[in-house]
Structure 1
């Protein structure tokens, strides 16, 4: 999967979780406001007065239908153009705690898991072994030049280049190459020569490397 698509999916999950959380909060906020308004109306009707006292608060709490509001909802006096007015208040943290955040939590968890997966996946992909202007992406099994363009190789050329890159000295004996690439062939010298002859111009065109022969006994990948 391309990196931009992974980012789009991650952003979509984050946005969906945020919207789901906000929607649940707003729905709970409306329910809380209705419950508090109803409880306040009943409390004021019972005491036949707009004056707030400790009894008003006690009666107000007794009329609350939501158990979570009792002890958390408060009565406040606000100044209006027509005088003082009593209004119920509740902290946003309390409303958030009362709201159903399970769907949002699931989406947040999915977003985090996706983020960790993408981080692991793309970190693994960018694990490169570079030498002489040529880079080998082990996770992909591909070679790239200095411009980031993939170097097209045949399966045999690919295998041989992987052997060169995995060798600490970047040197391989003819016997070592033949046994690895043509294990069932008694004499693969001519085949190896042809493979090297066709591989050389490709490597030299895409990097600062060249393949040199060591007295016909070994081949070495060297920087020009």
Structure 2
């Protein structure tokens, strides 16, 4: 936005400078005190900005004017005659905008839009649906657990299944019955197996996830922060 406004103001400055030099050259060869068609034609021939030739004109310097763009006041003197001349430009906002160099502003705007689009696409592909807990990231679509460096955490297949049960629970709390029925549905009593699994899983989640597993009252386990 600032770049665009700066380009617009630079265009205004360029217009005024062009009118200044054109009026100065016109008055340097002017012989009569009044403004003639030749005066206007000569002035416009000296203008360098093409679009300004049909929008700018020479006049006697006015105390008040309705034009936002005008040249400096130049004194013309010939014998006893001394007059102040000034040129004006009837340029709308759109005209000045068209004369300004908006390429950088346009480039920055397009770059910002592309970056936003890229960010949205990247988030949808890589961030949407992810779950963050401790220093661990769980990606349901990939069924993967990753550490802060993006590396997959080395869970065993059984540890991996238990961790997915924790992530699916919502409150990171599971009862022994839920775990045993999910992991060992055909085993009558899997309490010892579960105890061994939890004992071996604890150091892994502590080292790679910044988490721990605690026993809950009523016979269950909770995954929580260290």
- How high is the TM-score relative to the length of structure 1? 0.49
Select the structure that is richer in helix: 1
* Larger Rg belongs to: 2
